[in-house]
Amino acid sequence: MDIHTWQRPGLRAALLYTVAAGLLGGVVSAVSRLEITRRVVPDAALPAGPVVVVANHTSFADGILLALVGRRLGRSLRLMATGGVFRSRLVGPVARRLGFIPVPRGTDAAAGSLDCAATALGAGEAVGLFPEGRITRDPRHWPERSKTGAVRLALRTGAPVVPVALVGAERLVGRTGIVARLLRNTVLRPRVRVAVGEPIDVRRLAGVVGDRPVDDATVRRVADEVMSVLVAHVAELRGEAAPHPSGVPAEALSA
């Protein structure tokens, strides 16, 4: 799939998504307990129409977990995933059929993934992404300060942003010993807790008036405000105060 193009999945892809979600949901249930423990709006599903779903990133399992949460909330998310996912001979073709969007990090083509995501949102889809851009490097698994892509996408399309906090995913799949950990988890089944926040109108936060462009400083401020909401949900699930309310800055990670 060309990084600059996106086509809405058809009926066969919808059926494939249903089957894949069922199979992966069974696997996840066998090795963990995925629980939506808190919703700011009780019993609320994701909004209809275009929506950007953002989540914190602590595990290689987060993409699957976020997709399953989306299904429980009534939407099939079109996830933005790193280019390596699409280079896999096994996973890549399935990801393309499901309407997932490749993000070739560290290349000049990376910005084109936002064009692709904007097309999906224009078709009324729900796009899921991890605004940190990578699994957090914080040793205590707190979210890092976000990139600005999710907010730029929402400003561009007018789609609301829904924050989804995931706590405990790092106990499901870590960076090493993946097979051994999964085998152990069939007995221990670690709990993965989820909190779903209210939709955020980033255009309102940015003070957008008509078609007036938004400057980079405002985009950065709004990105920090959105990340602060997500971090607050993570902190509430963890039952402790976040050391960095808008995400761990790069200088704190390198200290």
Of 39-53, 71-85, 223-237, give the range with the top mean pLDDT: 223-237
Q: In which domain, by residue range, is 181 found?
A: 29-254
pLDDT, residue 188, reads 84
Q: In the predicted model, what is the mean pLDDT of residues 217-233? A: 97
Residue located via tokens 């889809």 = 125
Report the C-alpha gap between 93 and 100 in whole angstroms: 10
Instruction: Convert the pLDDT of each residue in 2-37 to its tens digit.
Output: 455 787 888 999 999 999 999 999 999 999 999 998
DSSP-based three-state secondary structure for 69: helix
Contact 99, 199 (CB under 8 A): no
Could you tell me which residue, 124 or 41, shows the higher pLDDT? Answer: 124
Element (H, E) at 51: strand 51-55
State the amino acid at position 174 in one-letter form: G
In a domain, 149, yes or no: yes
In a domain, 91, yes or no: yes
- Classify residue 180 by burial, with Cβ atoms within 10 Å: 0-12, 13-18, 19+: exposed
State the amino acid at position 234 in one-letter form: V
Q: Please name which of 170, 96, 182 lies closest in space to residue 139, comparing C-alpha atoms.
A: 170
Going by their DSSP bridges, the two strands 101-103 and 77-82 should be labelled as parallel
Instruction: Convert the pLDDT of each residue in 53-64 to its tens digit.
Output: 999 999 999 999
Q: What is the CATH number of the domain that holds 152?
A: 3.40.1130
Tell me the H-state helices in the chain. 11-31, 62-72, 83-87, 92-97, 112-122, 149-157, 178-188, 202-206, 216-238, 250-254
* Average pLDDT over the chain, rounded to an integer: 90
In a domain, 142, yes or no: yes
In a domain, 22, yes or no: no
pLDDT, residue 93, reads 84
In a domain, 24, yes or no: no
In a domain, 132, yes or no: yes
pLDDT, residue 242, reads 97
DSSP-based three-state secondary structure for 205: helix
Report the C-alpha gap between 218 and 21 in whole angstroms: 38
Q: Quick one: DSSP state of residue 146? A: P
Q: How confident is the model at residue 255 (pLDDT cuts 50, 70, 90)?
A: low
pLDDT, residue 109, reads 64
In a domain, 204, yes or no: yes
Element (H, E) at 194: strand 191-196
- The total domain count for the chain is 1
**Torsion angles phi and psi, residue 116, rounded to 5:** -60, -45
Q: In the predicted model, what is the mean pLDDT of residues 202-220? A: 91
DSSP bridge pairs for 80: 101
Q: In the predicted model, what is the mean pLDDT of residues 170-185? A: 80
Q: How confident is the model at residue 253 (pLDDT cuts 50, 70, 90)?
A: confident
pLDDT, residue 1, reads 45
pLDDT, residue 157, reads 95
pLDDT, residue 140, reads 95
In a domain, 235, yes or no: yes
| Alpha-carbon torsion angle 205, 209, 213, 214, nearest 10 | -20
